[in-house]
């Protein structure tokens, strides 16, 4: 019972944040959701690793969010409006903005709109449940939540990067995939070096995301 | 002092210094070339685990270079078996730095190139070697600013490259970790096969193996030709070196995984894709991208021989030997494209019609490098390619036939390129040399290197074969 509660809570939180990341088109809310996503990641990893090592995940994740946020804020002329998803006038397709910086922070919607995104996310989650049950039959039932959480995040991250080519949302998708993988990998290895290297990989992805956001505005070097 | 400090930490520190001073070109280029050549020389000559007297004075203590560096409970080892790889990495990087100034690559190229060399070395040194996957991701992340310099729009090719590399890393890491479970229980063939699939998928993502190769022509088209050729050379070369460790891992388990057949199958698909897509391509940089895909196929075929043989050290020489014509061919190709891009602003075939009459040196370099990659006689690729086809024809004649078909495609692309470049639409255009002096020197120097390595393969193949044997022989 001790394990079930944080496990279920973590899965519910993961589902909420990862689906929100798929449909959100406001970069601040997306980064907030990404930061929130690292809390269940921490809860799930802390079932497998010592708490102080699991904390590395959440700290590295939050720093990554911060890096992406700094990159977005520093773009000149970024849009302050918060666009709430599911408004009636949100039409599928590319959202046009008056300046190129805002366009770089926003993203195209899923090909068939939010309903398609929900359907795809639901399919991914169902597949994750099936895979998690299958894997947990060999690893033991105690690990079902970390496995389910990890596979769900990997699937949602893949959906995310499949839907978009924008630097910010691609970075968010890649960080989601890495977070999911980190939960799975925590099941099979508890090396401090790996924890450090993966934290470095997270920061690296965030830094490159920030660079890609800012690069078109930067001075041409040659 | 330990060897990983010399070949991992020092390049990183110098890279940081060069990053700060990056505006002082060509000073930073010269410093970086000298430094990487020095590291290659030290890899050749510096003794490990022995006292070395730097200055023969009694007041100056001698130093000792340890092979191992302990870091967070894990070991980074660079022993005598790592020398060949170190020489290849630092010599290769210095070669690419050599042309970078003339090619006008962005200022991040040299500092990030040094960091890339440091990370590649770390990936070879880390134990257990499965952690190398994370460092390869680091290399991929560093390649992004090289491919997409400041002031240029983000291209979908670079984004796809970033996505594939990031997805590949976790898959290899998990597969590598599970491989150690296979070693514990080698009787579970089903589990071993699943692990093989996982590792194969990871490598497919990272080395741009079919169907994850699409980013290569996209990057070639949208990025600086020299930067993209650097990435096309670097990734297959180093990642497949890493895959040799996995092949060795399988060999220790005793599981009969038919990696050789898989490598051959995928390799020939890559060769066919590279060859035939090059024929129909109308953009010169994209043709180079398809040539890079063709080269990945050739590397896989060489690795298939490694996977088939019981004694890896006897067959890996060919794989090592492939690196020289590949590096020369791609570097000269990219350099010629850079010069052409600087003059025409466009690399579409329609824009360079008759270009050879005004710029014959650049045009000849393009055609020669295409023929080098395709392995035309007297050029650098020929001795290695002919050796590969000869070794393969006994094991898989159909693969050789299909491989030669793909090669014909690349040759046809070269001939088509030549036909377009020498076209004389008006009928009254004379031949004249309009290239600058440095361009002529660099490119004709490249021709000489292509021909010399093609005519005298004994200059490099035995050395590289010996290096391969040293690399694969564990130090007692």
Nearest to B353 by CA among B279, B413, B422: B422
pLDDT over 90 percentage in chain B: 28
CA distance A88 to chain B (A): 30
Same domain, B101 and B199: no
Would you say residue A80 has pLDDT above 50?
no
- Residue B21 makes CB contacts below 8 A (sequence gap 6+) with B27, B28
- Return d(Cα B309, Cα B302) in angstroms, integer: 11
For residue B76, the cross-strand partners are: B69, B126
Render A162-221 in DSSP notation, one character per residue: HH---HHHHHHHHHHHHHHHHHHHHHH---HHHHHHHHHHHHHHHHHHHHHHHGGGSPP-
Q: Is B128 within 8 Å of chain A by CB?
A: no
- Asked if the C-beta of A211 comes within 8 angstroms of chain B's C-beta atoms, the answer is yes
The span from the CA of A171 to the CA of A212, in Å, is 10
In the stretch 111-130 of chain A, residues with CB closer than 8 A to chain B read none
- A2 pLDDT band, cuts 50/70/90, is low
Domain final position from B82, B105, B126: B126
Q: Which chain B residues have a beta carbon less than 8 Å from that of A181?
A: 170, 173-174
Is pLDDT of B127 > 70? yes
Same-domain check for residues B1 and B114: yes
CA–CA gap between residue A95 and residue A101 (Å, rounded)? 13
Burial class, A39, CB count within 10 angstroms (exposed 0-12 / middle 13-18 / buried 19+): middle
Q: Is the dihedral of CA B270, B272, B273, B276 positive or negative?
A: positive
B103 with B208, same domain: the answer is no
Domain range for B115 is 1-126
- Identity of the residue in A185, A205, A216 whose CB atom sits nearest the CB atom of B174: A185
In this structure, the answer to whether residues B295 and B418 fall within a common structural domain is yes
pLDDT at A173 over 90: yes
* pLDDT (average), residues B17-33: 87
Host H or E run for residue B127: strand B126-127
Res B130 pLDDT > 80: no
Rounded to an integer, what distance in angstroms lies between the CA atom of residue A167 and that of residue A171?
Answer: 6
Q: Cis omega before residue B385 (within 30°)?
A: no
Q: Is the peptide bond before B128 cis (omega within 30 degrees of 0)?
A: yes
For residues B373 and B228, state if they share a domain: yes
Q: What's the confidence (pLDDT) of residue B71?
A: 79
Block residue for tokens 């020669």: B368
pLDDT of residue A210: 92
pLDDT reported for residue B291: 94
Model confidence band, residue B466 (pLDDT cutoffs 50, 70, 90): confident
Mean pLDDT of B421-446: 84
The pLDDT confidence band at residue A84, using thresholds 50, 70 and 90, is very low
Is pLDDT above 90 for A114? no
The more confidently predicted of residues A142 and B20 is: B20
> Exposed, middle or buried: residue B59 (CB in 10 Å: 0-12, 13-18, 19+)?
exposed
Cα–Cα–Cα angle for B438, B441, B445, nearest 5°? 145
Crossing angle of helices B215-222 and B284-308, in 10° steps, is 140
B369 token code pair:
């490098």
Question: What are the two backbone dihedrals, phi and then psi, of residue B63, each rounded to the nearest 5 degrees?
Answer: -115, 165
Same domain, B109 and B148: no
User: What pLDDT, on the 0 to 100 scale, is given for residue A178?
Assistant: 93
Among the partner-chain residues B73, B150, B159, the one whose CB lies closest to the CB of A221 is B150
Query: Among A104-108, B120-124, B279-283, B470-474, which is the least confidently predicted range?
Result: A104-108
Are A163 and A110 in contact, with CB atoms under 8 Å apart?
yes
Residue B155 distance to chain A (closest CA, Å): 9
Q: In B13-78, which ranges are E strands?
A: 51-52, 63-64, 68-71, 74-77
The answer to whether the CB atoms of B166 and A205 lie below 8 A apart is yes
Does A75 contact chain B (CB < 8 Å)? no
On whether both B206 and B339 belong to a single domain, the answer is yes
* Chain A environment of B170 (Cβ under 8 Å): 177-178, 181, 184-185
- Nearest-angstrom CA–CA distance, B104 and B40: 25
Helix/strand/coil for B43 = helix
Could you give the CA distance from residue A108 to residue B307 in angstroms, rounded to a whole number? Answer: 45
Given a cut of 80, whether residue A83 has pLDDT beyond it is no
pLDDT at B416 over 90: yes
Compute chain B's Rg from CA coordinates.
22
| Statement: residue B136 has pLDDT above 50 | yes
The domain tally of chain B equals 2
* Residue B74 to residue B125: CA distance in whole angstroms: 11
pLDDT-derived band at A177, boundaries 50, 70, 90 = very high
Same domain, B105 and B143: no
Please report which confidence band the pLDDT of residue B362 belongs to, taking 50, 70 and 90 as the band edges.
very high
Q: Are A149 and A10 in contact (CB under 8 A)?
A: yes
Burial class (CB in 10 A: 0-12, 13-18, 19+), B429: middle
Higher pLDDT, B254 or A159: A159
Of A90-104, A198-212, B111-125, B256-270, the range with the lowest mean pLDDT is A90-104
The answer to whether position A222 is within a domain reads: no
CA distances from B208 to B247, B407, B426 (A): 19, 19, 43
Q: Rounded to an integer, what distance in angstroms lies between the CA atom of residue B240 and that of residue B471?
A: 14
Tally of structural domains, chain A: 1
Chain B residues 9-28 within an 8 A CB cutoff of chain A: 22
B151 is written with which tokens?
């002031």
Q: Enumerate residues 6+ apart whose C-beta is below 8 A from B225.
A: B103, B285, B288, B333, B334, B337, B338, B341, B347
Q: Which range (A48-52, A65-69, B252-256) has the least confidence?
A: B252-256
Name the A residues in 134-163 with CB < 8 Å from any B CB.
158, 161
Encoded tokens for A7: 């496990």
Q: What pLDDT is attached to residue A110? A: 56
Q: What is the pLDDT of residue B202?
A: 87
Measured in degrees and rounded to the nearest 5, phi and psi for residue B74 equal -115, 165
pLDDT of residue B24: 81
Inform me whether the C-beta atom of residue B72 falls under 8 Å from chain A C-beta atoms: yes
Distances (CA, A) of B360 to B152, B286, B416, B431: 30, 21, 16, 8
Q: Does B150 touch chain A (CB under 8 A)?
A: yes
- Report the C-alpha gap between B218 and B158 in whole angstroms: 8
Same domain, B345 and B440: yes
Of B72, B106, B174, the CB nearest to A192: B72
Task: Specify whether the CB–CB gap between B147 and B219 falls below 8 A.
Answer: yes
Does the beta carbon of A199 lie under 8 angstroms from any beta carbon of chain B? no
The half-sphere exposure of B188 on its side-chain side, counting CA atoms within 13 A, is 13
Q: Which tens digit of pLDDT belongs to each residue from B300-338? A: 898 888 777 665 555 677 888 888 889 899 999 999 999
Average pLDDT of the residues of chain B: 85
The CA distance from B83 to A164, in Å, is 43
Q: Are residues B137 and B87 in the same domain?
A: no
Phi–psi pair at B66, nearest 5 degrees: -80, 155
Q: Specify the pLDDT at position B436.
A: 86
Is residue B299 a contact partner of residue B318, using CB atoms and an 8 Å limit?
no
* Residues of chain A found within 8 Å of residue B106, distances taken between Cβ atoms: 221-222
Spatial neighbors of B358 by CB under 8 A, at least 6 apart, are B432, B434
User: What pLDDT score does A65 carry?
Assistant: 93
Q: What's the token pair of residue B85?
A: 């790889």
Contact of B365 with B229, CB cutoff 8 Å: no
Domain extent for A151: 4-217
Last residue of a domain, one of B82, B102, B126: B126
Flag whether residue A165 sits within 8 Å of chain B, measured between CB atoms: yes
Cα nearest neighbour of B143 on chain A: A208
| Model confidence pLDDT, tens digit, residues A21-50 | 888 878 888 899 999 999 999 998 888 888
Considering the domain boundaries, does residue A192 fall inside one? yes
Q: Which of A54, A19, A24 is nearest to A38 (CA)?
A: A54
Q: Is some CB atom of chain B closer than 8 A to the CB atom of A53?
A: no
Output the pLDDT for position A126.
93
CB B84 within 8 A of CB B467: yes
Disruptive mutation site among A201, A209, A218, A220 for chain B (greatest number of B CBs within 10 Å): A201
| B163 shares its domain with B114 | no
Closest CA to B90 of B3, B166, B22, B8: B8
Name every chain A residue with its beta carbon within 8 A of the beta carbon of B72: 191-193, 196
Lowest mean pLDDT among A56-60, A75-79, A198-202, B150-154: A75-79
Q: Residue A127: inside a domain, yes or no?
A: yes
Last residue in a domain, options B98, B126, B154: B126
Mean pLDDT of A119-146: 85
Same domain, B150 and B94: no
From residue B469, how far is each of B462, B474, B475 by CA, in Å? 10, 10, 12
Q: Bigger pLDDT: B72 or A180?
A: A180
pLDDT interval class at B6 (50, 70, 90): confident
Rounded CA-CA distance B281/B432 in Å is 28
What strand order describes the sheet that includes B68-71?
A: B68-71, B74-77, B126-127
Q: What is the mean pLDDT of residues B270-278?
A: 93
Determine the distance in angstroms separating the CA of A127 from the nearest CA of chain B, rounded to an integer.
Answer: 18
Q: Do B177 and A185 touch (CB under 8 A)?
A: yes
Which positions ≥6 away from B349 have C-beta within 8 Å?
B282, B283, B284, B417, B420
The pLDDT of B34-55, averaged and rounded, is 84
Q: B43 with B90: CB under 8 angstroms?
A: yes
């Amino acid at each position: 019972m001790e394990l079930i509660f944080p496990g279920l809570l973590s899965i519910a939180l993961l589902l909420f944040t990862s689906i929100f990341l798929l449909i959100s088109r406001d970069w601040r809310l997306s980064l907030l959701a990404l930061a929130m996503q690292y809390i269940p990641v921490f809860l799930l990893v802390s079932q497998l690793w010592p708490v102080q090592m699991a904390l590395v995940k959440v700290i590295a994740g939050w720093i990554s969010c911060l890096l992406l946020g700094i990159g977005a804020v520093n773009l000149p002329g970024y849009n302050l409006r918060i666009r709430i998803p599911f408004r009636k006038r949100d039409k599928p397709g590319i959202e046009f903005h008056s300046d190129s910086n805002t366009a770089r922070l926003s993203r195209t919607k899923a090909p068939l709109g939010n309903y398609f995104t929900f359907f795809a996310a639901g399919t991914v989650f169902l597949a994750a449940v099936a895979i998690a049950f299958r894997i947990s039959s060999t690893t033991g039932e105690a690990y079902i939540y970390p496995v389910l959480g990890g596979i769900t995040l990997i699937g949602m991250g893949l959906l995310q990067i499949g839907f978009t080519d924008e630097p910010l949302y691609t970075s968010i998708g890649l960080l989601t995939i890495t977070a999911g993988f980190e939960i799975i990998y925590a099941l099979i290895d508890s090396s401090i070096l790996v924890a450090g290297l993966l934290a470095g990989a997270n920061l690296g992805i965030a830094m490159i995301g920030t660079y890609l956001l800012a690069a078109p505005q930067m001075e041409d070097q040659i | 002092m330990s060897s990983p400090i010399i070949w991992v930490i020092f390049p990183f520190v110098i890279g940081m210094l060069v990053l700060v001073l990056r505006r002082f070109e060509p000073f930073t280029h010269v410093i970086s070339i000298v430094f990487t050549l020095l590291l290659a020389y030290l890899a050749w000559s510096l003794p490990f685990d022995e006292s070395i007297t730097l200055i023969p004075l009694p007041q100056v203590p001698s130093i000792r270079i340890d092979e191992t560096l302990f870091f967070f409970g894990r070991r980074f080892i660079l022993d005598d078996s790592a020398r060949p790889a170190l020489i290849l990495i630092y010599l290769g990087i210095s070669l690419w730095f050599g042309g970078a100034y003339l090619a006008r690559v962005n200022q991040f190229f040299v500092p990030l190139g040094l960091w890339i060399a440091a990370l590649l070395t770390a990936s070879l040194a880390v134990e257990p070697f499965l952690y190398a996957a994370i460092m390869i991701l680091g290399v991929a992340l560093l390649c992004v600013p090289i491919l997409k310099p400041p002031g240029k729009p983000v291209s979908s090719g670079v984004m796809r490259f970033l996505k594939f590399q990031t997805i590949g890393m976790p898959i290899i890491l998990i597969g590598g970790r599970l491989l150690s479970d296979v070693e514990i229980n080698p009787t579970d063939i089903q589990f071993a096969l699943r692990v093989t699939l996982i590792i194969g998928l990871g490598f497919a993502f990272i080395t741009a193996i079919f169907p994850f190769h699409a980013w290569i022509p996209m990057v070639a088209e949208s990025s600086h030709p020299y930067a993209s050729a650097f990435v096309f050379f670097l990734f297959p070369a180093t990642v497949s070196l890493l895959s040799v460790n996995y092949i060795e891992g399988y060999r220790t388990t005793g599981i009969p995984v038919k990696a050789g057949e898989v490598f051959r199958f995928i390799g020939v698909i890559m060769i066919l894709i590279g060859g035939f897509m090059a024929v129909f391509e109308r953009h010169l940089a994209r043709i180079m991208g398809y040539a890079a895909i063709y080269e990945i196929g050739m590397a896989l075929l060489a690795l298939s021989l490694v996977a088939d043989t019981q004694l890896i050290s006897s067959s890996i020489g060919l794989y090592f030997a492939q690196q020289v014509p590949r590096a020369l061919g791609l570097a000269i190709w990219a350099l010629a494209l850079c010069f052409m891009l600087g003059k025409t602003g466009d690399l579409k075939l329609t824009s360079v019609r008759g270009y050879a009459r005004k710029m014959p040196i650049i045009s000849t370099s393009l055609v020669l490098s295409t023929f080098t990659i395709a392995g035309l006689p007297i050029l650098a690729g020929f001795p290695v390619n002919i050796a590969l086809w000869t070794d393969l024809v006994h094991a898989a004649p159909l693969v050789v036939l299909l491989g030669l078909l793909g090669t014909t495609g690349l040759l046809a692309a070269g001939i088509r390129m030549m036909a377009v470049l020498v076209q004389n639409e008006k009928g009254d255009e004379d031949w004249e040399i309009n290239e600058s002096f440095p361009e002529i020197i660099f490119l004709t120097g490249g021709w000489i290197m292509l021909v010399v390595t093609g005519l005298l393969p004994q200059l490099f193949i035995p050395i590289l074969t010996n290096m391969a044997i040293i690399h694969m022989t564990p130090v007692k």
